[in-house]
A and B are shown apart, each in its own frame.
Chain A
Amino acid sequence: MTYTDTDETATDESPAAPEEVEQTDSELGRHLLTARGFHWIYGTSGDPYALTLRAESDDPVVLARRIRESETPLWQSAAGAWVTGRHGVAAEVLADPRLSLRHADLPGPQRHVFSDAWSNPLLCHIVPLDRAFLHASGADHARWERSAAPVLGAAAADGHRKSAERVHQETADGLGAAFDLMADYSRPVATEAAAALLGVPDAQRTRFARACLALGVALDAALCPQPLAVTRRLTEAIEDVRALVGELVAARRAEPGDDLLSTVLSAGSADSAGSRAQDALAVGVLTAAVGVEFTAGLINNALEALLAHPRQWALLGESPELAAGAVEETLRHAPPVRLESRIAAEDLTLAGQDIPAGAQVVVHVGAANRDPEAFLAPDHFDLTRPPGPGHLSLSGPHTALFGAFARLQAETAVRTLRERHPRLAPADGVQRRMRSPVLGGVLRCALTTSA
């Protein structure tokens, strides 16, 4: 998507920016309901991808295995999408520039109306999330990644370590004997770190945190219809965070700092000041919409896995430097983003299948990361797993952008919690949100520090 040389941060909206489309509750609700109905309908045949999207009560790991073990490596689900859970094909799909987050021939919002279309509805963009920059082109993503690299890139991670440690230690020391890992630790530290990246002033931190919480369903909402009220809260949060980040971008243009937004604003990759401001807005909004939930999810999944394997938790105590391996193994074993959805820009052949232009191709990252062709004992969590063929958990444009950030935060979390709370233990099972096939969003995860 290209933007005209106007300044969204100074005026209300750029004329080329995706418009917010107003729908009545009845229109939007019916649309979401119908999509949900389709997922149920397609699931009646036992289709594992449709059942994954139902995200109801079936075991996601079992469904992931069924997706991977399908007869052909890439197969077409009853839900329309071409799906793969094989590592080789998945890596190929994720690296293919002809597969993008948006329809090549559909400018503007990725909106599909199908409330009464009973054959072949497009279930690839359940709600248009262009306002959150979640359906951007490969070119946009490459530019954002480049211009954000001085702050978000792998080489920059060490520079953030000290401040991360401080936040994590303070948060860890403030935990009671019983606490909720997501609500009291993972999300607060991820939100705090994101706010620091963007330079959100203290007075706006509560507003920012509230928006991030509502934005937490964004990646799920793209593929799995959320209830009307949840969708409305998401849409409002997107607008709120756009406004908040827009104000910050305007302020940084007047007075640059060393934060992420200033870095993007000063990058030479965009061709004008206006489009640099748009890029800064995009990176800022994505930080709230993806960076926070992705990071919090990774922290949670890492701790959940470690606490489920007491010997590895003990080992980590002896060798704290294994924290990085624990995070890497979590990314493989329990990726915080499980599904990557793409649209074919042109007719192409993948894994021997002819994929027409406009078709949806979905990579089940969780399934590919446990492909026995690529990993020994793939279902086993092992923080000492030797480096081998890579997991695919940071191979999507969103996860790549925030990969180094999330890694650093999760590694710091693992080290800090192991050091400050060696007797950390699960108090109860983990509750995950329903309708969360992409993120497996954690609702609650009660732990005790003194078991």
Chain B
Amino acid sequence: MRVLLTSFAMDAHFNGSVPLAWALRAAGHEVRVASQPALTGSITAAGLTAVPVGADHGLDEMVKGVGDSVLSHHANQSLDPDAPGQLTPAFLTGWDTMMTATFFALVNDDPMVDGLVAFARDWKPDLVLWEPFTFAGAVAAKVTGAAHARLLSFPDMFLPMRRAFLAQLAPGPTAGDGERRGAHTEDSLGQWLEWTLGRYGVPFDEEAVTGQWSVDQVPRSFRPPSDGPTVGMRYIPYNGPLPAVVPDWLRVPPTRPRVCVTLGLTARTSEFPNAVPVDLVLKAIEGLDVEVVATLGAEERALLTHVPDNVRLVDHIPLHALLPTCAAIVHHGGAGTWSTALVEGVPQIAMGWIWDAIERARRQQELGAGLHLPSHEVTVEGLRSRLVRLLEEPSFAAAAARLRTEAASEPTPAEVVPVLERLTAQHHAHGRRRPGGTSPSCVS
């Protein structure tokens, strides 16, 4: 079959789709990866076939212009729908409004959606797998009749929030509330998708938000309750487009417990701020009887006032090669780092402060496999004492090992491919009815 994968151009959001793309290709399927031109290098570096569509999005310009405010709305805010007093109507409305205006409609702008739809009309994919914020994938699928699913590589906080948001929009018991809401529905995401699909003559329904099903690479323990159909898949680490090379020193077993410190790659390649006080992190580790491998870029190194003797600085290194040699990892909370540490069974201190990074770290702590230390709370003593606990209390390693086992119990991407073949045959409209959609109308 023909499978079109799509992610807006950002490595951290694209990387999670690479192993499944390999599996599909290796099973003999035709695979294309569509994104804005800026991702072409990353797609081809992963050995995949790129289809550039639209023009580069202005996410970095947005973050430079108003990112502080947008991020401050979400900073240190729990996204757990069960956490009391967190997902208030005001928060959810702000989230829906700001994220749609500054993010969803930006990375899925008209040229991107038009380009993807045009390619899908030409190439006629059977299945579109889309990164969960790349709604252009859902639009292209709905316009061409392809089956479509979300491909998750981080815990899905989005759909439970979306449900909570829609529930509070629904007419309440107060008379007049529905009328008030009805006159001015605040569902920005729904409205944007409605006029976006409307350009092709396709009506909006919630499936454009949820996909027909989801492929979820997050271990079950971290999946928020979901009533949508889900195909579990094992997370296979892929570290992104930087060369993955094993250095000689890594082949020598460490003599002391090894600790990895990393702040990920996203802060290096985008305007998203790195909130981790890296100098404090290294100071916290100084003097401990451990050896540290810190993957820091040039800008991050520039923030260091002093590099302790027990720290080895490297620019980058494939985490899946490094982590099996590590007793613990201290990191910024990013999804790729977190997932890789999880499948390698390494206890983590995650310094997540925003979005699902908070929930990943919080849940990890709940399950005993790590500790959550939000970046704004980092102190030398606080981090040092947590790291000492991670290294000295065997329960952390034991819990991390349990999660590694849980992760490994999920089917591999290769094993998921036949499931996708079956679901695609069930869902796609080929052979039955293939709505061609209409041309985008120029004037409403």
Give the interface of A toward B (CB within 8 A).
22, 24-26, 29-30, 33-34, 36-38, 40-45, 56-57, 116-119, 226-228, 230, 232, 428, 431, 433-435, 443-444
The answer to whether B90 and A56 have CB atoms under 8 Å apart is yes
Interface size class of B (residues with CB under 8 A): 35 or more
Residues of A close to B70: CB separation below 8 A: 41, 44
CA distance A34 to B102 in the complex (A): 7
Cβ-closest chain B residue relative to A27: B110
The answer to whether B101 and A37 have CB atoms under 8 Å apart is yes
Q: How far is the CB of A443 from chain B (nearest CB, A)?
A: 6
The answer to whether B176 and A431 have CB atoms under 8 Å apart is yes
The answer to whether B183 and A433 have CB atoms under 8 Å apart is yes
The answer to whether B176 and A24 have CB atoms under 8 Å apart is no
Most B CB contacts (10 A, CB to CB) among A29, A40, A56, A232 go to A40
The answer to whether A227 and B184 have CB atoms under 8 Å apart is yes
> When A22-B443, A41-B70, A118-B62 are in contact, do A434 and B100 touch as well, CB less than 8 Å?
no
> When A25-B195, A26-B196, A37-B97 are in contact, do A444 and B176 touch as well, CB less than 8 Å?
yes
CA distance A43 to B184 in the complex (A): 19
Residues of A close to B179: CB separation below 8 A: 431, 443-444
Cβ-closest chain B residue relative to A57: B90
Residues of A close to B93: CB separation below 8 A: 40, 56
CA distance A227 to B100 in the complex (A): 14
Cβ of B198 within 8 Å of any chain A Cβ, yes or no, is: yes
Add 16 more A-B contacts to A37-B97, A228-B191, A434-B181 (CB < 8 A).
A24-B441, A25-B444, A26-B199, A29-B195, A30-B110, A37-B188, A38-B66, A38-B101, A40-B98, A41-B70, A41-B102, A44-B70, A57-B89, A230-B183, A431-B179, A443-B183
CA distance A3 to B186 in the complex (A): 40
> When A25-B444, A26-B196, A57-B90 are in contact, do A36 and B185 touch as well, CB less than 8 Å?
no
The answer to whether A44 and B72 have CB atoms under 8 Å apart is yes
Cβ of B192 within 8 Å of any chain A Cβ, yes or no, is: yes
CA distance A30 to B111 in the complex (A): 13
The answer to whether A33 and B176 have CB atoms under 8 Å apart is no
Q: Among B97, B105, B181, B185, which residue has its beta carbon within 8 angstroms of that of A40?
A: B97
The answer to whether B90 and A25 have CB atoms under 8 Å apart is no
Q: How far is the CB of B294 from chain A (nearest CB, A)?
A: 33
Q: How far is the CB of A60 from chain B (nearest CB, A)?
A: 15
Residues of B close to A435: CB separation below 8 A: 184
Number of A-B contacts (CB under 8 A): 111
Please classify the interface of chain B as helix (H, G, I), strand (E, B), loop, or mixed, using the class held by over half of its residues.
helix
Cβ of B422 within 8 Å of any chain A Cβ, yes or no, is: no
Q: How far is the CB of B196 from chain A (nearest CB, A)?
A: 6
CA distance A25 to B105 in the complex (A): 13
Cβ-closest chain B residue relative to A33: B101
Cβ of B65 within 8 Å of any chain A Cβ, yes or no, is: yes
Cβ of B73 within 8 Å of any chain A Cβ, yes or no, is: yes
11 contacts between A and B (CB under 8 A): A25-B199, A26-B195, A26-B199, A33-B192, A34-B102, A37-B188, A118-B62, A119-B66, A232-B444, A428-B175, A431-B180
Please report which residues of chain B, range 152-207, place their CB below 8 angstroms from some CB of chain A when the two chains form the complex: 175-176, 179-181, 183-186, 188, 191-192, 195-196, 198-199
Most B CB contacts (10 A, CB to CB) among A29, A43, A56 go to A29
Residues of B close to A226: CB separation below 8 A: 184
Residues of A close to B196: CB separation below 8 A: 26
Residues of A close to B101: CB separation below 8 A: 33-34, 36-38, 40
Cβ of B64 within 8 Å of any chain A Cβ, yes or no, is: yes
The answer to whether A227 and B191 have CB atoms under 8 Å apart is yes
Cβ-closest chain A residue relative to B192: A33
> When A38-B66, A41-B102 are in contact, do A29 and B192 touch as well, CB less than 8 Å?
yes
Residues of B close to A37: CB separation below 8 A: 97-98, 100-102, 188
Q: How far is the CB of A40 from chain B (nearest CB, A)?
A: 5
Closest 3 CB pairs of A and B: A37-B101, A118-B65, A25-B195
CA distance A116 to B102 in the complex (A): 9
CA distance A42 to B195 in the complex (A): 26
CA distance A42 to B192 in the complex (A): 21
CA distance A26 to B195 in the complex (A): 6
The answer to whether A29 and B180 have CB atoms under 8 Å apart is no
Q: How far is the CB of B110 from chain A (nearest CB, A)?
A: 6
> When A42-B69, A56-B90, A116-B58 are in contact, do A443 and B198 touch as well, CB less than 8 Å?
no
The answer to whether B180 and A434 have CB atoms under 8 Å apart is yes
> When A25-B444, A118-B62, A431-B176 are in contact, do A227 and B192 touch as well, CB less than 8 Å?
no
Q: Among B66, B102, B109, B195, which residue has its beta carbon within 8 angstroms of that of A228?
A: B195
CA distance A235 to B146 in the complex (A): 37
Residues of B close to A33: CB separation below 8 A: 97, 100-101, 105, 188, 191-192
Residues of B close to A42: CB separation below 8 A: 69
Residues of A close to B195: CB separation below 8 A: 25-26, 29, 228
Q: How far is the CB of B99 from chain A (nearest CB, A)?
A: 9
Cβ of B429 within 8 Å of any chain A Cβ, yes or no, is: no
Cβ-closest chain A residue relative to B93: A56
Q: How far is the CB of A94 from chain B (nearest CB, A)?
A: 29
Cβ-closest chain B residue relative to A436: B184
Residues of B close to A117: CB separation below 8 A: 65
Residues of B close to A26: CB separation below 8 A: 110, 195-196, 198-199
Please report which residues of chain B, range 317-349, place their CB below 8 angstroms from some CB of chain A when the two chains form the complex: none
Cβ-closest chain A residue relative to B175: A428
CA distance A57 to B70 in the complex (A): 19
CA distance A428 to B100 in the complex (A): 35
Residues of A close to B257: CB separation below 8 A: none
Q: How far is the CB of B213 from chain A (nearest CB, A)?
A: 28
